[in-house]
C-alpha cells in the first residue's frame, strides 16, 4: 500500500487461531497457528473549499 509517508497502519488488531494453513490455504482443523489479524486503517483525506457570494 502506498501513501504519503509510505507507512503501513492499522486501526485494530486481534490475536486468533488461523485454521487455513494447509496447502493453498485450505481448512485444516488439526493444525492451527496463532496469528495476529490486522484491520486496515481508515483512509485519510483532505478537503478544501471556497465560497464566494455576489452582492
**34 occurs within a structural domain:** yes
Which pLDDT belongs to residue 49?
Answer: 92
**50 occurs within a structural domain:** no
**49 occurs within a structural domain:** no
Name the residue with cell 492451527: 32
**4 occurs within a structural domain:** no
Which pLDDT belongs to residue 2?
Answer: 61
Give CA–CA dist 55/36, Å, rounded. Answer: 60
54 — pLDDT class (breaks 50, 70, 90): confident
Domain limits for position 32: 10-40
Q: What is the pLDDT of residues 6-51, one digit of tens each?
A: 777 777 888 888 888 877 888 887 888 888 888 877 777 788 999 9
Q: How big is the CA angle at 39 (ends 25 and 33), to the nearest 5 degrees? A: 40
**2 occurs within a structural domain:** no
Query: Taking the C-alpha atoms of 21, 18, 36 and 12 in order, what is their torsion angle to the nearest 10 degrees?
Result: 130
**25 occurs within a structural domain:** yes
**15 occurs within a structural domain:** yes
Amino acid at each position: 500500500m502506498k501513501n504519503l509517508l509510505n507507512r503501513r497502519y492499522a486501526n485494530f488488531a486481534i490475536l486468533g487461531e488461523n485454521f487455513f494453513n494447509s496447502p493453498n490455504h485450505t481448512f485444516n482443523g488439526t493444525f492451527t497457528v496463532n496469528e495476529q489479524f490486522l484491520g486496515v486503517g481508515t483512509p485519510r483525506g483532505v478537503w478544501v473549499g471556497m465560497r464566494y457570494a455576489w452582492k
